[in-house]
Amino acid sequence: MKRLLLLLNLLLLLFFVSCSVKQKGADVKAGKDSALTEVKITPETIKNSMEYLSSDELEGRGTGTVGIEKAAIFIEKYLKDNGIKPFFETYRDSFEIENKSGKKVNNQFPKIQGYNIVGIVEGNDPALKNEYVILGGHYDHIGFGRLINNDSIANGANDDASGTVAAMEIGRYFAGTKTNKRSLLITLYDAEELGLRGSSHLAFRLKNQGLDLYTMVNFEMVGVPRAEGKSMSYMSGYNKSNLASKLNDYVGEEVVGFFPKAKEFQLFFRSDNYPFFKEFTKPAHAISTFDFSNYEYYHHVDDEAEKMNYEHMADFTNKMIKAFEGILNAPTKELYLNDE
What's the pLDDT at 35? 38
Residue 33 has pLDDT above 50, yes or no: no
pLDDT in tens, 173-203: 999 999 999 999 999 999 999 999 999 999 9
**C-alpha pair distances (Å), 314 with each of 123, 202, 222, 321:** 24, 28, 10, 11
pLDDT in tens, 81-121: 999 999 999 999 999 998 776 667 677 778 899 999 999 99
Average pLDDT over residues 204-231: 98
pLDDT in tens, 320-334: 999 999 999 999 999
HSE, CB side, 13 Å, CA atoms: give it for residue 325.
15
Residue 46 has pLDDT above 60, yes or no: yes
Please tell me the pTM assigned to this model: 0.88
What's the pLDDT at 9? 53
Q: Determine contact, residues 93/118, Cβ cutoff 8 Å.
A: yes
pLDDT in tens, 276-307: 999 999 999 999 999 999 999 999 999 999 99
Kindly indicate whether the domain formed by 36-329 is annotated with CATH number 3.40.630.30.
no
Q: How far apart are CA 312 and CA 14, in angstroms?
A: 49
Residue 2 has pLDDT above 70, yes or no: no
Least confident residue range of 94-108, 198-212, 223-237: 94-108
Percent of the chain with pLDDT over 70: 87
| Confidence bin at 16 (pLDDT 50/70/90) | very low
Q: Sketch the domain layout of the chain as residue ranges.
A: 36-329
**C-alpha pair distances (Å), 181 with each of 52, 127, 205, 335:** 32, 9, 24, 16
Q: Determine contact, residues 138/195, Cβ cutoff 8 Å.
A: no
Q: How far apart are CA 86 and CA 76, in angstroms?
A: 9
Q: Determine contact, residues 168/79, Cβ cutoff 8 Å.
A: yes
pLDDT in tens, 119-177: 999 999 999 999 999 999 999 999 999 999 999 999 999 999 999 999 999 999 999 99
What rounded mean pLDDT belongs to the chain?
90
Percent of the chain with pLDDT over 90: 84
Closest CA to 185 of 248, 278, 116: 116
